[in-house]
Amino acid sequence: MKTMLLFLAIVLFPSLFHAQIQFTDIAASAGVADPGNGQGVVFLDFDNDGLLDIHLVKNGQTNRLYRNNGNLTFTDVAAAFGLNNTGAGRGCAAADFNNDGRTDIVVGNFNQSMILYRNDSTTFTNVTAQAGMNVTSWGGSINWLDYNNDGRLDCYVGNNGIPPHYNYLFRNDNLASFSHVAASLGLTDSVSTLSVATADFDNDGDTDIFAGNQTGFPTGYLYRNDGTTFTDVTSSSGLITSLYTWGADWGDFDNDGDLDLYLANSNGANQLFQNNGNGTFTEVASVFGLADAAQSFSCGWADVDNDGDLDLYVANSASAPDRLYRNDGTTFTDVAAASGMVDNLLSNSTTWGDINNDGRIDLYLSNNGVANKLFLNTSDTTNRWLVLKLQGTTSNRSAIGARVQIYIGSLSQIREVQGGSGHNGQNSLAVEFGVGTAIVVDSVIIRWPSGTIRRLTTVPVNQIVTVTEAGPSSVRLLSEAQPEHFELMQNYPNPFNPKTEIRYQTSEVSYVTLKVYDLLGREVATLVRDELQPGSYQVVFDVRQLASGVYFYRLQAGRYSETKRMVMTK
């Protein structure tokens, strides 16, 4: 299967082997070099102007908030916005925890209270105490996630230090206050955690947790989210390491529809755990040329050449240069030096994001005690791209936990909106796809944390698209119980204006289409086009531009088909 995927990649993405990767360090001219104790970094758009800003924490020195001026320069506005804290900041993460449309920030300090900053538009307000998060932390590997899919973002904190400390999971109770629920949910390990990476590794619709540590055996834990509790599946999954894992990042490097995990280790070779799709993993770093034995601290997946597969950046200590591994389909090649990404300093955090909205993803690199770097992607490539910015409505506003899958011909790619990445930092919340030479994406399927499924078809490339959870064709899985037969129900209400609900059920795995036609048999909308598991589904049809009249909707699922009539009135 993987051989066939590679063949298709060559046919559909002929630029796969020809794209010229090039980066230019503009940190000094951009005003973000800051030769201090650089630790965690996050790309965020704190002022909602469509441009990525930078929050940097500095371990005993004044933290920074760099506002993007839109001309490849930044201005430090931390003091003006109340973010100029001088605590022992190690890490940070950003998301809209109270669903008010503004991105908030959490900072992890070492042996000091962590800090939750609420974005109040003209300032950031320290709401740690009233939120119930004024506890001592030991480090800064922080991930935002909605572990119970209730539309409110929770916060997982990995605590470092010797002796080890328990990690925290703060449940968001009411968009203002949190409860510490780690122990009650089975997250009871007491180890020294260096990295946290959260994602849906088993494709069941909820967020799982990986914690990379430097004590105990194994030194990493994989917790499967079972809905009401977490289960330690480290041993049964085969995702076992005995090394000190400073950085971890999930990404589907082989485009097979499930997420793989790369570990940046400080006392041995780095590891790549390939997802087998059945709850288990196989360690394949040496097979793909990624078993770097340098002292590594952070890592991050991104498609730097927009050729349709994920490349990998690995940040190392001063003992070895950093790596930029280009994904060549069957192996990876280190092109850091050739591409201008030269860094042999003590790197702490890698953060990906497109700072100038040109469709080429850029990298901010935090270094400890020396100047940071901002690598602007200046690659001369004709490869095209598509960027999606998601906004939840029923789900959390930041859409963290949403899964996006795109199809171009027979090839597909997936991304997941993640609330933390690499080591002590976080990539931008937008999901970026390289699409090679394609001029349209055949379909985009978004699975929101609420269970709603949103579909876009024939999407032109080379654009940034903002997608909200509610839309003209929002599909929701109502039940995973296997029905006895296929059935298409009558829409309700009927007649309708301007929207109606259509429910249907499938009794076996089927490729399902649900289309709407007018009285002349002309197709006016495609509501569903996807392979679905057995279950009961609901789609909301809301197309306000339709004229009043009689319409028909037709469900095709395998050999089953049925058509029903509905009426639009104005």
How many angstroms from the chain centroid is the CA of residue 150?
18
Query: The pTM is what?
Result: 0.84
In order, the DSSP letters of 306-333 are -SSS-EEEEEE-TTS--EEEEE-SSSEE
Q: Nearest-CA neighbor of 292 among 326, 268, 318, 275?
A: 268
Q: Which residue is it, tokens 């030194």? A: 219
d(CA 205, CA 186) in angstroms, rounded, equals 19
| 24: three-class secondary structure by DSSP | strand
d(CA 90, CA 110) in angstroms, rounded, equals 7
**Which residues have a Cβ under 8 Å from the Cβ of 179 and sit 6 or more positions away?**
132, 170, 171, 173
Token pair for 119: 């974005």
Q: Which residue is it, tokens 């993007």? A: 68
- Cβ-contact 155, 94 below 8 angstroms: no
Q: Which residue is it, tokens 């909602």? A: 48
In this predicted structure, what is the pLDDT of residue 17? 47
**Which residues have a Cβ under 8 Å from the Cβ of 71 and sit 6 or more positions away?**
none
Cα-based distances in Å from 167 to 135, 141, 186, 218, 284: 11, 10, 11, 16, 29
User: At residue 295, what are phi and psi to the nearest 5 degrees?
Assistant: -80, 100
In this predicted structure, what is the pLDDT of residue 545? 64
d(CA 501, CA 484) in angstroms, rounded, equals 22
Q: Nearest-CA neighbor of 247 among 139, 108, 141?
A: 141
- Cβ-contact 52, 428 below 8 angstroms: yes
Q: Nearest-CA neighbor of 451 among 520, 539, 559?
A: 539
In this predicted structure, what is the pLDDT of residue 474? 60
- Cβ-contact 19, 307 below 8 angstroms: yes
d(CA 168, CA 157) in angstroms, rounded, equals 5
In this predicted structure, what is the pLDDT of residue 97? 98
- Cβ-contact 315, 442 below 8 angstroms: no
| 129: three-class secondary structure by DSSP | helix
- Cβ-contact 212, 196 below 8 angstroms: yes
d(CA 116, CA 46) in angstroms, rounded, equals 14
Give me the residues paired with residue 408 across strands. Answer: 411
d(CA 426, CA 431) in angstroms, rounded, equals 13
Q: How many CA atoms are closer than 13 Å to the CA of 323, on its beta-carbon side? A: 27
d(CA 66, CA 69) in angstroms, rounded, equals 9
pLDDT tens sequence across 308-349: 999 999 999 888 899 999 999 999 999 999 999 989 888 999
Cα-based distances in Å from 566 to 478, 500, 503, 570: 22, 9, 13, 14
d(CA 326, CA 310) in angstroms, rounded, equals 8
d(CA 386, CA 382) in angstroms, rounded, equals 13
In this predicted structure, what is the pLDDT of residue 472? 52
d(CA 190, CA 138) in angstroms, rounded, equals 13
d(CA 143, CA 154) in angstroms, rounded, equals 9
Mind listing the pLDDT tens digit of every residue in the chain (570 residues)?
444 444 444 444 444 444 689 999 999 999 999 999 999 999 999 999 999 999 999 999 999 999 999 999 999 999 999 999 999 999 999 999 999 999 999 999 999 999 999 999 999 999 999 999 999 999 779 999 999 999 999 999 999 987 888 999 999 999 999 999 999 999 988 889 999 999 999 999 999 999 999 988 899 999 999 999 999 999 999 999 999 999 999 999 999 999 999 999 999 999 999 999 999 999 999 999 999 998 999 999 999 999 999 999 999 988 889 999 999 999 999 999 999 998 988 899 999 999 999 999 999 999 998 999 999 999 988 999 999 999 999 999 999 999 999 999 888 999 999 999 989 999 999 999 999 999 999 999 999 999 888 888 888 999 999 998 875 556 677 777 888 899 999 999 999 988 889 999 999 888 888 999 988 888 888 788 777 888 899 988 877 667 889 999 999 998 889 999 999 987
